[in-house]
Amino acid sequence: MKKKIPEGDYIFWIVRAEPSRRMIQVTFQSREISLTESFPTSGPGVWRLKEMLEACGKKILRQRGKLHLDKLIGLECAGSVVNDEELGTVIGAFFSPQNLKENFATVIREMSGGEMPRYVM
* Phi, psi for residue 80 in degrees, rounded to 5: -100, 115
d(CA 39, CA 81): 16
CATH-assigned architecture of domain 8-111? Beta Barrel (2.40)
Which is it for strands 76-84 and 88-95: parallel, antiparallel or unpaired?
Answer: antiparallel
Exposed, middle or buried, 78 (CB in 10 Å: 0-12/13-18/19+)? buried
Nearest to 12 by CA among 92, 62, 79: 79
| Per-residue tens of pLDDT for the chain, all 121 residues | 456 788 988 999 999 999 988 899 999 999 888 999 999 988 888 899 999 999 999 887 666 667 889 999 999 999 999 998 888 899 999 999 887 777 666 655 666 665 554 443 3
pTM: 0.77
Boundaries of every domain in the chain: 8-111
Which residues, in sequence order, are CB contacts of 88 under 8 Å at separation 6+? 2
